[in-house]
């Protein structure tokens, strides 16, 4: 089985926008980037370019969709392919109440047949890979049998590319932020899935903080997806040849271009805030960026 990408950055709302993705690509050419989650309804009822436009330098890049209508998701997958995305991903892991009210995200784990219909429709609509990002369970439905039934139902469509957030989700009582930290990590469930289905492409997500951890995990699965650590301490992604101030200088022409287009400067420069994390005299660099970014973003 061909492994697509050993390392990827998780789709994160309000974080993995096009500015962060451009910045991340300057750090590494080897990672797969994901958009923020985009709902099918938003694409179909707005101008797609407003939501889907990106910079050609971001490739390889995957579009993450959220929805529960096979027809709508298929149409959006085709739109994404036409925009040039390299992969379409279906979100079956977000636990927020807003997502639940739209009947998509993590609550779809209780509807494996519907998810299979969605994935089949998406695969029939595009020629690029279709993947599914999910949790290992929801609420008290957290047994191995429940999880395995969900992913195997999807795999019957021919999709064998799964990104697994190695925590279950609580749909009530925990915020999305708490759902990223309170349910305990269970890497063994993800490892067991790979052992059970060695021909699948299995990517582990959740709690990975650096590339040393990722290398250990890659002994047992095909890929590792890094979330908050990639945003808060982005230097962990950097290729060996990178120099921090060189990255800033390479980012400068892009930033100037975006600001000329009317993008607020704090949105453009926000991704750079974590670049100097842990560096001696880092405060000096943050003060430099502070001239361009409102102080409230420097938390």
Active site residue 94: yes
Tell me: the pLDDT tens digits for 45-81? 988 999 999 999 999 999 999 999 999 999 999 999 9
Percent of the chain with pLDDT over 70: 94
pLDDT tens by residue, 163-194 = 999 999 999 888 888 999 999 999 999 999 99
Integer Rg of the chain from CA? 19
- pLDDT band at residue 104 under the 50/70/90 scheme: confident
Q: Is the pLDDT of residue 288 over 80?
A: no
Closest CA to 100 of 150, 32, 43, 169: 169
Q: Which 3 state secondary structure label does DSSP give 39?
A: strand
User: What SS3 state is found at 30?
Assistant: coil
How large a percentage of the chain has pLDDT more than 90? Answer: 79
pTM: 0.93
pLDDT band at 3 (very low <50, low <70, confident <90, very high): low
Residue of 76, 92, 94, 118 marked catalytic: 94
């Amino acid at each position: 089985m061909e492994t697509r990408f050993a390392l990827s950055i998780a789709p994160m709302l309000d974080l993995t926008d096009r500015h962060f993705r451009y910045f991340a690509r300057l750090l590494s050419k080897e990672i797969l980037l994901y958009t923020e989650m985009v709902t099918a309804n938003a694409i179909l009822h707005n101008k797609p370019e407003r939501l889907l436009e990106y910079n050609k330098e971001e490739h390889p890049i995957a579009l993450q969709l959220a929805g529960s209508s096979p027809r709508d998701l298929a149409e959006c997958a085709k739109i994404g392919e036409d925009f040039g995305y390299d992969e379409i991903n279906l979100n079956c892991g977000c636990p927020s109440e807003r997502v639940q009210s739209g009947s998509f995200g993590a609550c779809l784990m209780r509807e494996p047949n519907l998810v299979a219909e969605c994935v089949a429709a998406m695969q029939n609509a595009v020629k690029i890979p279709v993947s599914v990002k999910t949790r290992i369970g929801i609420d008290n439905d957290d047994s191995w049998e429940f999880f395995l039934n969900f992913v195997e139902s999807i795999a019957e469509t021919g999709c064998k590319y799964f990104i697994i957030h190695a925590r279950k989700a609580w749909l009530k009582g925990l915020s999305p932020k708490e759902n990223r930290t309170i349910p305990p990590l269970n890497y063994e469930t993800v490892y067991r899935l790979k052992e059970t289905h060695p021909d699948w492409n299995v990517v582990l997500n959740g709690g990975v903080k650096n590339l040393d951890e990722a290398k250990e995990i890659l002994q047992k699965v095909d890929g590792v997806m890094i979330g908050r650590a990639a945003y808060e301490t982005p230097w962990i992604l950097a290729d060996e040849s990178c120099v921090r101030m060189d990255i800033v200088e390479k980012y400068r022409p892009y930033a100037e271009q975006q600001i000329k287009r009317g993008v607020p400067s704090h949105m453009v420069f926000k991704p750079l805030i974590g670049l100097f994390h842990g560096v001696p005299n880092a405060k000096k660099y943050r003060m430099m960026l502070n001239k361009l970014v409102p102080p409230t973003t420097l938390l």
